[in-house]
Amino acid sequence: MDKQEFVSKLTIRNDSKILMLIMDGLGGAPEIGGKTELEAANTPNMDMLASASDLGQTVPVIPGITPGSGPGHLGLFGYDPVKYQIGRGILEALGIGLEVSNKDVVARGNFATIRDGIIVDRRAGRPATEENVKVCKLINSKISEIDGVKVRVFPGKEHRFVLKLTGDGLDDKLTDADPQHDNEPIEYAKALSESSKKTAKVVNEFMDRVIDLLKNEDKISGCLLRGFSGYPDLPLFPEVYKIKSAAIATYPMYRGLAKLVGMDVLEVPNAEGEMETLKAEIKVLKDNYDKYDFFYFHVKHTDSYGEDSNFMAKVNVIETVDEVIPEIMSLKPDVIVITGDHSTPALVGGHSWHPVPFLMHSKYSRYGLSSSFNEKECARGSLGTVEARDLMTLLLANAMRLEKYGA
């Protein structure tokens, strides 16, 4: 059974409001004083909300698996993160804020140092990003089209860039054009199906033309390409769940992920610092509260500081979010869930496999078991340990947006 298909058939419309507040990488592991970040944080508002909520913890994919942001979010949005995979090229493109459509094939690129057909340095000596920007401009000015396919490169950091091909009949079933090691010959992309032969030809001609264009350069003298990916064919969230859905997020990748599943992505004005950014996001939430019934609200820095192994900074972000909970709750959403897309314990310094604590509040909550929001309470919560993709079903249930199954 595809759970999402099963749930979709039971979904009905009403005028309830659902808010999904995601602190990226929320889950932690005990470090300072044997506490997790969420336990160390002073969170009186979330604790008070916990005392009127169901608690539980989610497993993003299966126990023990550490998800990237793609599978982490697909799970939260109710998609099977194993069945639906978002290509690395697409995620890289979303990460630099690139618009992608179903006529595109994108790939992650490295600028490399290539001499006489041999890859001398896969990262071209890690050039300054400005140099990268300059080379991308040059390529875009000289190579705009190959065999009727529009070609554009977009700079990332240092040696990284994104290639975007736009045209009819493109197909992403290609091998990586990257031998993965230095001192190997250039490797061209190979078509893995009849339908991707045209794309392979365009990609390989692009590589040759880049080498030709940069033949007098010392460092950046060619490129490698990998993770070819077309636009993923995902069922659309607003249709699957029959709900007008908006995303409030400041980072390109999360805005892009929400767009991939068909949410409206609302503009958030730039702001300085975490509290100001949060306030800007809340203003967008308030301004659009009447226009949508589902809000995905994303807070980035819990994850960033977890990745940096900065325990106290992650604690501070959690406390900042706690401060704005009363303002968010004053909107009186019918259902709110507070959770993360995965754990990013400062102890690990990266995404991890640990289950993710969640709190879900509605007037139907089976509350009373806990009066604080943290990993320990959630592990013993009223909803137990569930798959991340079950959260959407629970949100809809609490919003009375699901019909009874069977008579």
Torsion of CA 165, 168, 169, 174, to 10 degrees: 0
For a copy of itself, the closer CB: 1 or 168: 1
| CA nearest neighbour of 72 among 347, 343, 375, 381 | 343
Q: How far apart are CA 327 and CA 389, in angstroms?
A: 28
Would you give the binding string for a copy of itself spanning residues 19-58, x where CB under 8 A is met?
----------xx---xxx--------------------x-
First-to-last CA distance in the chain? 20
Q: How far is the CB of 356 from a copy of itself (least distance, A)?
A: 11
By the rule CB under 8 A, 11 interacts with a copy of itself: no
CB of 400 to a copy of itself, least distance (A): 9
DSSP per residue, 274-313: HHHHHHHHHHHHHHTTTT-SEEEEEE-HHHHHHHTT-HHH
Tell me: does residue 302 bind a copy of itself (CB under 8 A). Answer: no
List 129, 309, 371, 382, residue binding a copy of itself (CB under 8 A) = 382
CB nearer to a copy of itself: pick between 68 and 262: 68
Q: Within its chain, how far is the Cα of 143 from the centroid? A: 31
From candidates 49, 243, 347, 359, binder to a copy of itself by CB under 8 A: 347
Backbone angles phi, psi at 384, to 5 degrees: 70, -155
**Residue 109 engages a copy of itself in binding (rule: CB under 8 A):** no
Please check whether residue 152 is in contact with residue 164, taking contact to mean a CB–CB distance below 8 angstroms: yes
Say if residues 377 and 55 touch (Cβ distance below 8 Å). yes
Interface with a copy of itself: number of residues (CB under 8 A): 70
Smallest separation, CB 333 to a copy of itself (Å): 17
| Interface with a copy of itself, residue 82, by CB under 8 A | yes
Contact between 233 and a copy of itself by CB under 8 A: the answer reads no
* Pair 297, 285: CB distance under 8 Å: yes
Task: Extract the tokens encoding 118.
Answer: 């041999």
CB closer to a copy of itself out of 58 and 320: 58
Contact pick of 17, 88, 219, 226 for a copy of itself (by CB under 8 A)? 88
How distant, in Å, are the alpha carbons of 5, 164, 190, 302, 329 from that of 196? 30, 15, 9, 40, 50
**Closest separation in Å from C-beta 184 to a copy of itself:** 22
Residues of this chain that interact with a copy of itself (CB under 8 A) are 1, 3, 6-7, 10, 29-30, 34-36, 57, 61-71, 81-83, 85-86, 88, 91-92, 345, 347-348, 350-355, 363-369, 375-376, 379-387, 390, 392-397, 402-407
